[in-house]
Amino acid sequence: MMFRKDPIVRRYQVRLLMFGIMMIGLAAYQLQTIWISKSSLLPLHGTLKSADIYITRVTDRGGHESQVSELIFFLNGYAKKFSVAENIGNANSNDDYDRIVAGLREADVVTVWIRKSEEHEYQPKVFQIDQDEESTLLELERVSMAESPMTAFLLVLGLVSIGSFLWFRYPEKFRKFFA
């Protein structure tokens, strides 16, 4: 019990608590993307100006290399850059994005669904892409669920951090709670 009064230990306990709160906050922020509904999105209709796929080699801090495929396109009538990106590992192409670009080039009218709050931003987050209002090239569910593994990880990390803080700060009460 004496270790709890040590100011250095208390400082690290508080940092652990703050870290847990930040991780849960980030997870809650990402839940907005996962639980987004089509009624909170704004459709932008236009004709295709240009569309290209760029594949970039990236290296993480651990030195592992992979490739990121990014689809960038512009619509006539909008001063906006629309982009969607995903990690494709060691592949040299992204068949899904090739299919989307082909559909964009064939379409008479392209509809891009973005958040209403991002209407005036240059590069809004794209949630869905429709071709001629009859077929969907990029589904809302695919975009919204792309962040779900990271959200779950952040949520678990935050809960473990806060649980660790409680266990270090109040070990007797913590043992009684789980006894």
pLDDT tens digit string along 104-139? 999 999 999 999 999 999 999 999 999 987 888 888
Tell me: the pLDDT tens digits for 4-15? 567 888 888 899
137 found inside a domain? yes
What is the average per-residue pLDDT within 72-94?
90
Q: Which two tokens stand for residue 37?
A: 């509904």
102 found inside a domain? yes
Residue 1 has pLDDT above 50, yes or no: no
Confidence class of residue 84 from pLDDT cuts 50, 70 and 90? very high
Tell me: the pLDDT tens digits for 133-162? 788 888 888 877 777 888 899 999 999 999
Taking the alpha carbons at both ends of the chain, their separation in whole angstroms is 20
142 found inside a domain? yes
Overall pTM > 0.85: no
**CA atoms of 129 and 127, how far apart (whole Å):** 7
Question: Which residues are within 8 A (CB) of 15 and not within 5 positions of it... i.e. 6 or more apart?
Answer: none
Structural contact between residues 76 and 48, judged by C-beta atoms closer than 8 angstroms:
yes
- Domain count along the chain: 1
State what percent of residues in the chain have pLDDT above 70: 97
Give the per-residue pLDDT at 143: 79
Q: How far is CA 45 from CA 89, 111, 130, 132, 140, in A?
A: 33, 4, 9, 9, 16
Give the per-residue pLDDT at 4: 55
115 found inside a domain? yes
1 found inside a domain? no
Region of poorest pLDDT, from 26-30, 32-36, 99-103, 157-161: 32-36
125 found inside a domain? yes
- Average pLDDT of the chain is 88
Domain that holds residue 135: 38-150
173 found inside a domain? no
Q: Tell me the CATH number at 45.
A: 2.40.50
51 found inside a domain? yes
